[in-house]
Amino acid sequence: MTLDMSPEEFRQLGYRAVDLLAEQLASVPNGPARRMLTEEQRQALMYQPLPEQAHSPEALIERCASDILPYPMGNNSPRFFAWVNSPAAPLGILAEMLAAGFNASLAGGDHAGTYVEHGVLNWLKEIVGFPTDAGGILVSGGSMANLTGLAVMRHVQTEGNARTDGLTNESAPMVVYTSDQGHSSIQKAIELLGFGNKHLHRVPVDDQFRMDVSALRAAITADQAAGLRPVCVAASAGTVNTGAIDPLDEIADVCAEAGLWLHVDGAYGAVGILAEQTAGLYRGIERADSISLDPHKWLYVPIECGCTLVRKAQALRDTFSLVPSYLRDDRALPWFAEFGFQQTRGFRALKLWMTIQQIGIQGYRESISRDISLARYLQERIRQRDDFELCAAGPLSITCFRYHPPQASASSLDDLNRRLLEVVQQEGQVFLTSTTLRDEVVLRACIVNFRTMEADLDFLLDTLADAGRRVQGDQS
């Protein structure tokens, strides 16, 4: 028994695998957004006994075809609007396969993968207006990107040496600010980095869910007076709830005055800087000390691919490198392992390298801008209908709304929307999720999808209204 294969067998299995993906691609536009597994199927996948004996590769690929591929999360569908999950660019899927075959560790070293990763990092720096000599690294996603950026912040902002002493040599507890819409991964990072989440202070937002800068100033002053040490603002360039972009330039002023690190969480929204409708809202992003972005969202590469950029490459290296500075060879390209937590690392850069070139930055400008226009279309449709109410229309591609037929009482709406969402998710024709805004349950549709058309948005509202009427019928 061997894991190895003859080139011919590999070729035949590979063709079959590509055929399966091509069939899936063909069925995407008209199929349901997602299909639910039966309880039996779930159990079968979870509790299959440890396979003692060998299985034939052909049979395993067919089992993928029958038991796994038909039950996806749904994000390749044009009618999937949940969270911030985009479809994968088909070329990116093939790149993922090529990268697996290449099977290099991007810990570093003198192989083509290293130069490709540096190449795509340089492109990402240019997109957000960072200099080419800034530091950067590809990571698994926005959460790891936030953790990495905030780890560098900790390294720089501690009075003592965080690497030897942790936080034990600090004169006062350090405080980090984010808006009350800031992503949960910022809190996770603050907890993991040892600050304690009581030192993550949530700044209130304005009526468009952007950080209120005068409240930020007031919080910094109050915390200083209370003997705490403000060290960082983790601003959002596109919140997950509504796509709000904090006033980055004003926040950069505050950070410059008070000696705070500016981290910008642009996991969803940073690349919205490419869209003509919103480019102006990013003024100041280039002043950030660190930025996270998530190519597996709006740049459409297959999951996973996130990125941390740090203005001062040296700070990123000093946070993670175990190579003492006197041993660093400045002639050789340093290993990525010196710039992040991972040692062995996947070749995430290849799918980005291929996808970015396939569509070009001009192509991204158009596709991101188109998603924003589609969100405007959805918002217009909601305004025109008397059975829906628009709750938040952020500058990017997220719409928050409620099913609110004229006869429904305001107090019944949370329950009504929760129940109709459950029905719609079960049926799977469209897929979206909800969130809470100002203590109300709202439906939330995020469009990061080069396949979505206006007709899909009409279908979304009709499907929701239909489920809403049925749920109401049950109630009365």
Instruction: Give me the DSSP letters along 227-286.
Output: T-EEEEEEEEBS-TTT--B--HHHHHHHHHHHT-EEEEEETTTGGGGGSTTTGGGGTTGG
The CA distance from 275 to 418, in Å, is: 33
One residue of 136, 142, 295, 340 binding ligand PLP per CB under 6 A: 142
Kindly write out the interface string for residues 69-88 of this chain, putting x where it contacts ligand PLP by CB under 6 A and - elsewhere: ---------------x----
The CA distance from 285 to 252, in Å, is: 8
Q: Which of 311, 313, 260 is nearest to 289 (CA)?
A: 311
If you compute the radius of gyration of the chain from its CA atoms, what whole number of angstroms results? 24
The CA distance from 307 to 8, in Å, is: 38
Name residues contacting ligand PLP, limited to 239-258 (CB under 6 A): 239-240
Of 236 and 355, the one with the shorter C-beta distance to ligand PLP is: 236
Of 95 and 305, the one with the shorter C-beta distance to ligand PLP is: 305
Query: Which residues face 399 on adjacent strands?
Result: 393, 445
Kindly write out the interface string for residues 313-342 of this chain, putting x where it contacts ligand PLP by CB under 6 A and - elsewhere: ------------------------------
Is the CB of residue 149 less than 8 Å from the CB of residue 290?
A: yes
The CA distance from 430 to 460, in Å, is: 6
Of 148 and 417, the one with the shorter C-beta distance to ligand PLP is: 148
Tell the residue number behind the tokens 């459409």, with chain if given.
Answer: 300
One residue of 96, 294, 338, 371 binding ligand PLP per CB under 6 A: 294
Of 141 and 340, the one with the shorter C-beta distance to ligand PLP is: 141
Of 114 and 290, the one with the shorter C-beta distance to ligand PLP is: 290
**What are the φ/ψ torsions at residue 197 (nearest 5 degrees)?**
-70, -10
The structure tokens listed for 278 are 């919103």
Interface region with ligand PLP, contact rule CB under 6 A, candidates 19-27, 28-36, 219-227, 234-242? 234-242
Interface region with ligand PLP, contact rule CB under 6 A, candidates 121-129, 137-145, 365-373, 377-385? 137-145
- Residue 143 binding ligand PLP, by CB under 6 A: yes
Of 223 and 294, the one with the shorter C-beta distance to ligand PLP is: 294
Tell the residue number behind the tokens 């597996």, with chain if given.
Answer: 296
Taking CB positions, which residue lies at the least distance from ligand PLP? 142
Kindly write out the interface string for residues 260-279 of this chain, putting x where it contacts ligand PLP by CB under 6 A and - elsewhere: -----x-xx-----------
* 98 half-sphere exposure, CB direction, 13 A CA radius: 13
Interface region with ligand PLP, contact rule CB under 6 A, candidates 106-114, 232-240, 313-321, 452-460? 232-240
The CA distance from 273 to 267, in Å, is: 12
Of 136 and 468, the one with the shorter C-beta distance to ligand PLP is: 136
Q: How many residues bind ligand PLP (CB under 6 A)?
A: 15
User: Whole-number minimum distance, CB 92 to ligand PLP, in Å?
Assistant: 15
Query: Which residues face 137 on adjacent strands?
Result: 308
- Residue 445 binding ligand PLP, by CB under 6 A: no
For ligand PLP, the binding residues (CB under 6 A) are: 84, 141-143, 183, 185, 236, 238-240, 265, 267-268, 294, 306
